[in-house]
Amino acid sequence: MPTTAPADPAPGLAAYSEVTASEASLRRFLHGLPGVDQVGAEARAAGLGTRSIKTTAKEWALDLAIRMVDLTTLEGQDTPGKVRALANKALRPDPADPSCPSVAAVCVYGDLVGEVKAIVGSEVNVAAVATAFPSGRASMEVKLADTRDAVANGADEIDMVIDRGAFLAGRYLQVFEEIVATREACVRPDGSHAHLKVIFETGELQTYDNVRRASWLAMLAGTDFIKTSTGKVQPAATLPVTLVMLEAVRDFREATGVQIGVKPAGGIRTAKDAIKYLVMVNEIAGDDWLDPDWFRFGASTLLNDLLMQRTKLTTGRYSGPDYFTLD
């Protein structure tokens, strides 16, 4: 898991310094990106959703999906006990089957990072939401303090929310600068940095054009991942939204040489859905992204269905939910 910062921004990215020089140039650039035709994008996503993944391909996809899960609990009622249970599950999702891989990360609120870290160590990453999650409505100082706190608590990854109000009001440069500042707040004393994931809350951005613009905005600002949703707003992750984001990271790498990860979060509950996402990653961004370093599922209930389907493939039978741990 790469958690150290690249020494310098990639040379490809430097070519875009003009773009982010002013509010006007940034707006011109974002609005000059090719539009997204809603009907066409949704039809493409639906088409990829009909790929039939069976037998060996399914086996491979299920294990990969498990390795890509950010096992998440983001409730006001979260306690140390709750997140410890989740951390143990992250390490050994299926106690009955040692061949079952660990998940990618456990995602919690910043104050609970230490509890999780104590259990998972460096075997599984710990992600913390920050920047006044989930609304993003706080002063910049508070957001940065929130981020620094989580990093100081040992978070390997920071999931930040953008200020959707600023974005929708067209204050793109403000959003850009917030991401840049948060990215700086992720730097640890030793110079390494916690991985930054930028959450757009696509359900609030509403249009695919906005999703594409937000993706480029965050990538230009130096994010490591772009993420669809907090999970607190409906609709959360959808296939077409993720499709647009996958197109964005694909185009961005082509333009700058920099690869950015994608994380759909919220609402992905079944193995069948997860496999549809993997097919889309494969056919839109390409198989370079079929890796937990570059694609994650933000999910809490998905894991058990993945485990159940995995067991079904090995034993030929479905076991009941009681055969899998709660969390």
Stretch of 22-30, 55-63, 125-133, 164-172 lying at the interface with another protein (CB under 8 A): 55-63
257 contributes a contact to another protein by CB under 8 A: no
Stretch of 42-50, 71-79, 180-188, 197-205 lying at the interface with another protein (CB under 8 A): 42-50
54 contributes a contact to another protein by CB under 8 A: yes
Contact residue for another protein among 41, 62, 196, 265 (CB under 8 A) = 41
Candidates 163, 227, 273, 305; catalytic one: 227
Give the relative orientation of helices 80-91 and 113-120 as an angle to the nearest 10 degrees. Answer: 30
313 contributes a contact to another protein by CB under 8 A: no
Cis bond before residue 235 (omega within 30° of 0): yes
159 flagged as catalytic: yes
Instruction: For 201-240, give one letter per residue: b (16+ CB within 10 A) or e.
Output: bbbbbeebbbbbbbbbbbbbbbbbbbbbbbbeeeebbbbb
255 contributes a contact to another protein by CB under 8 A: no
Nearer to another protein, 50 or 77 (CB): 50
Nearer to another protein, 10 or 46 (CB): 46
Q: How far is the CB of 39 from another protein (least distance, A)?
A: 7
**Rounded Cα distance, 323 and 307, in Å:** 10
C-beta of residue 7 within 8 angstroms of C-beta of residue 156: no
Coil, helix or strand at residue 121: coil
Give the relative orientation of helices 208-220 and 239-256 as an angle to the nearest 10 degrees. Answer: 40
Which residue is associated with the tokens 């496999």? 275
Contact residue for another protein among 2, 7, 8, 56 (CB under 8 A) = 56
310 contributes a contact to another protein by CB under 8 A: no
Residues 129-188 touching another protein, rule: CB under 8 A, are none
201 contributes a contact to another protein by CB under 8 A: no
**CB count in 10 Å sphere of residue 108:** 26
60 contributes a contact to another protein by CB under 8 A: yes
C-beta of residue 193 within 8 angstroms of C-beta of residue 207: no
Q: In what order do the strands lie in the sheet with 297-299?
A: 261-263, 225-227, 195-199, 157-161, 125-130, 105-109, 69-72, 297-299
227 flagged as catalytic: yes
Instruction: For 140-179, give one letter per residue: b (16+ CB within 10 A) or e.
Output: eeebbebbbbbbebebbbbbbbbbbebbeeebbbbbbebb
Which residue is associated with the tokens 């030929």? 316
Q: How far is CA 254 from the centre of its chain?
A: 21
314 contributes a contact to another protein by CB under 8 A: no
Stretch of 57-65, 100-108, 180-188, 305-313 lying at the interface with another protein (CB under 8 A): 57-65
Nearer to another protein, 57 or 138 (CB): 57
Stretch of 178-186, 190-198, 264-272, 283-291 lying at the interface with another protein (CB under 8 A): 283-291
247 contributes a contact to another protein by CB under 8 A: yes
281 burial via Cβ count (<10 Å: 0-12, 13-18, 19+): buried
Count interface residues toward another protein (CB under 8 A): 29
276 contributes a contact to another protein by CB under 8 A: no
97 contributes a contact to another protein by CB under 8 A: no
Catalytic residues: 159, 227, 263
The residue ranges that bind another protein (CB under 8 A) are: 34-37, 39-41, 43-44, 50-58, 60-61, 64, 247, 278-279, 282-283, 287, 290-291
